[in-house]
Amino acid sequence: MLVLALSALLAPSAAADRPRHRSVPLAELTVVSEQVASGLRRPIALTGLPDGRMLIAEKNGTVRAYHPDTGLAAEPVLDLTDRIDTSDNERGLLGITPAPNFAWTGILYVSYTSLPAGALTLARVPLGAPDQAQVLLTQEHAEYGNHNGGQVAFGRDGYLYWSTGDGGHANDPFKSGQDLGTLLGKIVRIDVNRTCGTKPYCVPYGNPFVGVPGARPEIWLYGLRNPWRFTVDPVDGSLWIGDVGQGLVEEINHIRPWQGGANLGWSCREGAPVFDPEQCRPGVRYTDPVFAYDHYNDNCSVTGGVVYRGSRTPEAWGTYVAGDYCSTRAFAVRPKPRGGYDTAVIGNFPIQPTAIDVDVHGELYVLSDLPGWLSRVRFERVPPA
What's residue 76's pLDDT?
Answer: 98
DSSP state of 191: B
Q: Give yes or no for residue 13 having a pLDDT over 80.
A: no
* Rounded CA separation 300/362 (Å): 28
Q: Give yes or no for residue 10 having a pLDDT over 90.
A: no
Q: What are the φ and ψ backbone dihedral angles of 77, each rounded to 5 degrees?
A: -95, -10
Q: What are 28-39's pLDDT values in tens digits?
A: 999 999 999 999
What's residue 238's pLDDT?
Answer: 98
- Entry pTM: 0.94
* Rounded CA separation 74/66 (Å): 10
Q: Which residue has the higher pLDDT, 262 or 384?
A: 262
* Rounded CA separation 104/237 (Å): 24
What's residue 383's pLDDT?
Answer: 83
**How crowded is residue 310: how many other Cβ atoms within 10 Å of its Cβ?**
17
Q: Which residue has the higher pLDDT, 14 or 64?
A: 64
User: What average pLDDT does range 287-307 have in this prediction?
Assistant: 97
User: What average pLDDT does range 43-54 have in this prediction?
Assistant: 97
* Rounded CA separation 124/122 (Å): 7
> In whole numbers, what is the pLDDT of the chain averaged over residues?
94
Q: What are 158-214's pLDDT values in tens digits?
A: 999 999 999 999 999 999 999 999 999 999 999 999 999 999 999 999 999 999 999
Give the N- to C-terminal CA distance of the chain in Å, as an integer: 52
* Rounded CA separation 335/317 (Å): 11
| Helix, strand or coil, per DSSP, at residue 66 | strand
User: What average pLDDT does range 123-150 have in this prediction?
Assistant: 97
DSSP structure string for 71-98: EE-SS-SEE-GGGB---STT-SEEEEEE
* Rounded CA separation 217/199 (Å): 13
Q: Give yes or no for residue 1 having a pLDDT over 90.
A: no
Percent of the chain's residues with pLDDT above 90? 93
Architecture of domain 41-296 in CATH?
6 Propeller (2.120)
DSSP structure string for 126-160: ETT-GGG-EEEEEE---S-SS-----EEE-TTS-E
Q: Give yes or no for residue 3 having a pLDDT over 50.
A: no
**How crowded is residue 277: how many other Cβ atoms within 10 Å of its Cβ?**
8
What's residue 236's pLDDT?
Answer: 97
What's residue 4's pLDDT?
Answer: 34
* Rounded CA separation 133/167 (Å): 25
Q: Give yes or no for residue 21 having a pLDDT over 60.
A: no
| Helix, strand or coil, per DSSP, at residue 358 | strand
Confidence of residue 384 (pLDDT cuts 50, 70, 90): confident
What's residue 331's pLDDT?
Answer: 98
Q: Give yes or no for residue 289 having a pLDDT over 70.
A: yes
Going by C-alpha positions, the residue among 312, 377, 379 that lies closest to residue 344 is: 379
* Rounded CA separation 345/309 (Å): 19
User: What average pLDDT does range 106-132 have in this prediction?
Assistant: 98
Q: CA of 107: how far to CAs of 95, 148, 284, in Å? A: 14, 23, 40
Q: In what order do the strands lie in the sheet with 373-381?
A: 29-37, 373-381, 364-368, 353-358
Confidence of residue 18 (pLDDT cuts 50, 70, 90): low
Confidence of residue 6 (pLDDT cuts 50, 70, 90): very low
Confidence of residue 9 (pLDDT cuts 50, 70, 90): very low
Residue type, 58: E
**How crowded is residue 247: how many other Cβ atoms within 10 Å of its Cβ?**
11
Q: What are 236-252's pLDDT values in tens digits?
A: 999 999 999 999 999 99
* Rounded CA separation 204/54 (Å): 30
User: What average pLDDT does range 304-319 have in this prediction?
Assistant: 96
User: What average pLDDT does range 350-366 have in this prediction?
Assistant: 98
DSSP state of 344: E
**How crowded is residue 54: how many other Cβ atoms within 10 Å of its Cβ?**
24
* Rounded CA separation 240/254 (Å): 5
DSSP structure string for 229-280: EEEE-TTT--EEEEE--SSSEEEEEEE-GGGTT-B--TTTBSSSSBS-GGG-
What's residue 92's pLDDT?
Answer: 98
Q: What are 249-260's pLDDT values in tens digits?
A: 999 999 999 999
| Helix, strand or coil, per DSSP, at residue 16 | helix
